[in-house]
Every structure is written in structure tokens, then in C-alpha cells.
Amino acid sequence: MAKRTFSIGGIHPADNKRSRDCRIEVLPLPPKVYVSMFQHLGAQAKPIVAVGDSVKAGQIIAEPGGFISAYVHSPVSGVVKSIAPRRDFAGFNVMHIEIDVQGDEWAEGIDLSPELVTAIPEDNAFILDRIKMNGVVGLGGATFPTHVKLSPPPGKKADCLILNGAECEPYLTSDFRIMLERTDEIVVGAAIMQKVLGGCPCVIGIEENKPEAIAAMEAAVARLNYPGIRVQVLRKRYPQGGEKQLIDAVMRRQVRSGGLPIDVGAVVQNVATSLAVYEAVQKNKPLVTNVLTVTGSVIPADRQRNFLFRIGVPFPFIIEQAGGVPEGTVKIVSGGPMMGKAMANLDATTVKGSSSVLFLGDETRRKPAGPCIRCTRCAGACPMGLEPYLLRRLYSAADTDALEKNAVQDCIECGSCQYSCPSNIPLLDSIRIAKSQVMGIIRARNAKK
């Protein structure tokens, strides 16, 4: 099968998949968890428990705060200690529910057995309700509520379900490991979503640098024999896992500026989301666990980890379980080195979409920026076809009209421009702020209509 990739821009950073051979380990439970009410795209969840309440693992503790929102469940059994603002990893105050851990008793009706359930429910409404009530959100980065994404608006139809197994960010290996260790569950989850979307074809896209995952997923697809599901090998190219880039690679369709994937008949979900859908629908298990990679350039080989964690676990507890902060650490990042964020607050806790704790050394120190030499490498690297050097200049001039006209709102913040700049200009920093400003203007304008 021919390898596919997207048509515009892209870069080739080193893989650095140092934890690829580390099997998933179950992280022990900490003494306390702090469960965020803002771990999904959209409105914050609203607590429905009170201080002093006893809760079980998998019990609903917060309900959606709007249409684009999600249920939140207790990841442990214990007693609610407080409901109060607490700083997240970026340093913002967000409401959290603090729970004293007093065991691991799960709510009734949740199937924790390892037995694979392959028979898919007939009722689509039942499936979507299970996904919604179990708080499933996209685990590829955006954490968009999955039940909403699987319900195209009137007049829109899914022509293809794309499962993202690219994991193109350097260092990260959590998706790779679940494709090896939870292979069948991912395929069943794909078949469930495929059914809800009307039986459209499903393509599982995996980069060529993961041959073990490609082989494992192809074997599972053949073994389970659901119709219309296949694996597509993708070329190694960053950001191959971007939603619009995957659609381009798999379907050869481009999402217009301001458009959505469903506009071109695409629905994109991460392989970890597919696993969460399987657990929600077939096992009635809420999304309270995920897999997180502990890795980096300064962490020794014997301390690399892929942890199955519960949401709400403090990062210091995870770091302690992995042997502490390695010597030579200059920066600790949540997420990958390209799109992740440096952790401004190490006392933060995990959320549904947490993907890594990344320890990086001197190579991350910012070098002095030189003048733009007009080489246009940043424009050649941009997978959205933007002109980053121009956007930075317009940002410096505070020209929001020109920024919108030049589509700064289409930036996916992948960092390809900054990576490719020979003058070390912090292009992404300026563009990210400019995008935020323009998006605010667009939202305000739309609100007046």
C-alpha cells in the first residue's frame, strides 16, 4: 500500500521515541486527587457533590456546564475534602474537587473485567448516551466532547471516520503503546463510532516509524473482521497527526478557512479516544484513566515510563514514581516538545487529555533572536500555507484586520515555523497571541449577528 501524507509544508524532527519499549504500568493511587472542572473543550463542568460526601470510582461528581461540555467522574473512592479554585499546569485558577483517597471501590454497573466485548449495540441513541454519560472527550489534544463530534449537524454526512494513530510529536509513545497493548479494543471502538456515523469507511492512520503498531492493528482488523475498516500507512512527517493534515493525507480533501472537518465529510478521532469509546459503550466505564509518557532528553533509559494514570493525580506524585526530577532538567513540559506547554505550576494535576511529562535539558534554552533574513523557510514549513514572517510583522504593527485577512486564525500552533527559522525568531509566540486576539474579534462579531 502506498504511503500517504499531506500536501503542504511539514518538517522532520528527530523521533526520540525513547520510551517506545516501555510497557504500560499502572500508576499507584496517591493519598489525594484534585479533579479539574475544566478538562474538556467548552464550558466548565458544574460540581454536583458537596464537601463531606463519600464517592466511589466512576461516580458522576460534575455535570456539563453547557452543550459543549462533559460529565466528570470520580477517579477514586473516598471523601470529598474541598471544592475550590486551584492552579492548573499553566498557572490559571480552575475549580477542582479534592478527594481524600480511601480505597478503590467502583460504582455499580461498571465492568472492569478484561473480557473483550465485540457485539455492538443496535441502538445509536444508546451508544451516544453511553459516550456522553461516561464523559468521553477527544484525547488527541483538543478534548472536544466525543458525543457531539459523533452527531453531525443536519445536512452534514460523514464520508470517512479517520482514527489518528500518527503520534507525530517527538518523544511521546502513549498512543503507540495502546496500539500494541489494547489493539482489539481500539478496533471495536472504531466499529462503534463507524456505526453511529452511518456505516462510513474507517481508516486508521499510522506513521511508518511505528511498524509494530501497523502490524498489530492490521492483524486486529483482519481478526475482528468488521466491514469497512483498514489501516493506512502514513509517511513520517510532522504534523501528520493534525486533523486537517490527516484529512488531506487520507481523503485528499482540504478543509477551507474557518471550516470544520465534517464540511468535507470527515470525522477524526484519536486511537486513545477509540479505546475510551469502547470502554464507555461496552463496559460502561467512565473516562477516568488514560496513558501518559514520562520521558525526555535528560531522563535515564531505565526511568522512562508509560503510566496508566487516574485523572486528578498530582504531577509531583507521578514524578516521584518515576524517580524524581532528573539532573540537568531545564524545562518540564506537559505534552510534546512541539505543541506542549512548559509547566508553570508543578503542583498541578492530571486531566483527561494529559499525554506526557517531558524533561528537557539545555537544548531547550532559547537562543538570541537575530533579524529576519527573508529566507521564507517558515512559510515553506507551514502546513496551513500561511506566511509566519508576515503574521509576526502584522502582530508587531497591531494590525488585526490584516492578520484576519491573512488567516492567522487558521494557525494550528504546531511550531513548524519556529523550528525551521535559522534566525531563532520566536514566531509562534507572536502568532499565538495574534490568533487569540483575532479569534476574540471574530467571536464578538458573530455574537452580534
**Which domains, and CATH codes, for the chain?**
124-283 (3.40.50.11540), 377-447 (no CATH)
pLDDT value of position 383: 97
Cα separations (Å) of 306 from 25, 251, 303? 6, 32, 10
217 closest CA partner among 246, 256, 188: 188
pLDDT value of position 141: 81
pLDDT in tens, 128-179: 999 999 999 999 888 999 999 999 999 999 999 999 999 999 999 999 999 9
Cα 6 from chain centre: 20
251 closest CA partner among 139, 160, 120: 160
149 closest CA partner among 243, 81, 256: 243
419 closest CA partner among 257, 237, 226, 174: 237
Residue for grid cell 487558521: 410
Low pLDDT (below 70) residues in the chain? 1
pLDDT value of position 446: 87
Is 103 exposed, middle or buried, given 0-12, 13-18 or 19+ CB atoms closer than 10 A?
exposed
270 closest CA partner among 354, 421, 167: 167
pLDDT value of position 1: 64
Give the contacts of 233 (CB within 8 A, at least 6 positions apart): 1, 3, 4, 206, 207, 208, 214
Cα 71 from chain centre: 17
pLDDT in tens, 322-379: 999 999 999 999 999 999 989 988 899 999 999 999 999 999 988 999 999 999 999 9
CA quadruple 152, 156, 158, 164: dihedral positive or negative?
negative
75 closest CA partner among 46, 48, 104, 49: 104
Distance separating alpha carbons of residues 228 and 204, to the nearest angstrom: 11
- CA contacts within 13 A on the Cβ side of 420: 22
Distance separating alpha carbons of residues 104 and 86, to the nearest angstrom: 24
The predicted model scores a pTM of 0.96
26 closest CA partner among 292, 301, 355: 292
Determine phi and psi for 251, rounding to 5 degrees.
Answer: -105, -10
Between 183-196 and 271-283, two packed helices, what is the crossing angle to 10 degrees?
80
| Grid cell in block for residue 221 | 482488523
pLDDT value of position 74: 98
